[in-house]
């Protein structure tokens, strides 16, 4: 029973942190609008010949920006671990009668819920600015959003568990975030000859590649079939495997935290 209470308390704490941070909420609206309106117009002419005729660039970009939002939010959540160390909260929960696995899962699921909510906000923004996607596809995208968030949040928490200051975490976060984002196919199709073969091979080792591809499967439907990286089930299998590995690694990292 104490494990369940500990998990719930940590989950609820992360949700309240997000809902009380107005700056983050406002940013979660502004940044996607910039990408989907301004940057979409800049990139559209570059990849116009790479997309199927029934798919415009803003439709293609929407799942990619949802993936980007989840990635950046998920990795940013690691800062909470460092703050908890600074103010002594982490020490208190580490010496509590709750297992390190429960502590890690409570923070991971709580932070993933925050990233999940921001992904939904981006989808709603896409509909609001007139991107022609079926609103019903959001229902199919929800489990993909959460599965993708689990693994990415775990990366941020694992890195933060070894860090003692915000500056060092910020540098490593940027070093990890940018390659994951730009090699995921969020901004350009990985198939269709627009990229060199070696870059496509590198992208195949990126977990976010499969998250973005799965989102395009469920949001864009058959229009995405000619450019799909893998089948939807392969994408989901890879994401689930990555999540499992990161939960094990993250729990191990938390057991080493003093």
Dump pLDDT digits (tens) for 55-95.
788 888 899 999 988 998 888 888 888 888 877 777 778 77
Quick one: pLDDT band at residue 193, thresholds 50, 70, 90? Answer: low
Nearest CA-CA partner of 187 in 151, 216, 161: 216
CA distances from 122 to 83, 186, 252 (A): 27, 14, 33
State if pTM tops 0.75: yes
Per-residue tokens: 253: 């990292």
Asked whether residue 1 carries a pLDDT value surpassing 60, the answer given is no
Asked whether residue 223 carries a pLDDT value surpassing 90, the answer given is no
Task: Name the CA radius of gyration of the chain, rounded.
Answer: 19
64 vs 33, higher pLDDT: 64
Q: State pLDDT tens for residues 180-189.
A: 998 888 888 8
**172 Cβ neighbours under 8 A, 6+ residues apart:** 159, 163
CB 122 within 8 A of CB 25: no
Q: How far apart are the C-alpha atoms of 242 and 143, rounded to whole Å?
A: 15
Sketch the domain layout of the chain as residue ranges.
2-255
88: left (phi over 0), alpha (psi -120 to 50) or beta: left
**58 Cβ neighbours under 8 A, 6+ residues apart:** 36, 40, 44, 126, 131
Mean pLDDT in the chain? 85
CB 212 within 8 A of CB 184: yes
Asked whether residue 49 carries a pLDDT value surpassing 70, the answer given is no
Q: How far apart are the C-alpha atoms of 157 and 73, rounded to whole Å?
A: 12
Please tell me the predicted confidence (pLDDT) of residue 54.
76
Q: How far apart are the C-alpha atoms of 72 and 80, rounded to whole Å?
A: 14
Per-residue tokens: 22: 């107005």
CB 209 within 8 A of CB 184: yes
Please name the residue ranges forming H helices in 162-231. Answer: 166-182, 197-203, 207-220
pLDDT-above-70 percentage for the chain: 95
Q: State pLDDT tens for residues 93-151.
A: 877 788 888 888 989 999 899 889 889 989 998 888 888 888 999 999 999 999 999 99
For Cα atoms 174, 107, 94, give the angle at the middle one, nearest 5 degrees: 110
């Amino acid at each position: 029973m104490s494990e369940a209470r500990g998990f719930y308390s940590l989950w609820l704490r992360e949700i309240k942190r997000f809902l009380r941070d107005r700056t983050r909420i406002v940013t979660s609206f502004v940044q996607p609008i910039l990408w989907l309106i301004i940057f979409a117009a800049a990139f559209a002419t570059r990849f116009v010949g790479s997309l199927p005729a029934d798919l415009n660039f803003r439709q293609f970009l929407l799942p990619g920006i949802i993936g980007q939002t989840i990635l950046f939010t998920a990795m940013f959540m690691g800062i909470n671990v460092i703050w908890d160390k600074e103010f002594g909260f982490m020490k208190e929960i580490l010496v509590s009668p709750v297992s390190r696995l429960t502590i890690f899962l409570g923070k991971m699921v709580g932070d993933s819920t925050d990233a999940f909510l921001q992904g939904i906000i981006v989808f709603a923004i896409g509909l609001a600015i007139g991107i022609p996607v079926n609103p019903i596809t959001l229902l199919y995208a929800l489990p993909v959003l959460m599965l993708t968030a689990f693994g990415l949040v775990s990366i941020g928490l694992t890195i933060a568990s070894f860090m003692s200051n915000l500056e060092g975490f910020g540098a490593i976060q940027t070093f990890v975030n940018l390659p994951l984002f730009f090699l995921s196919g969020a901004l350009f199709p990985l198939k269709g000859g627009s990229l060199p073969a070696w870059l496509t091979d590198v992208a195949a080792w990126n977990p976010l590649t499969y998250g973005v591809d799965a989102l395009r499967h469920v949001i864009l439907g058959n229009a995405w079939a000619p450019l799909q990286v893998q089948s939807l089930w392969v994408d989901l299998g890879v994401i689930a495997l990555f999540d499992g590995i990161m939960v094990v690694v993250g729990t191990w990292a938390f057991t080493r935290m003093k």
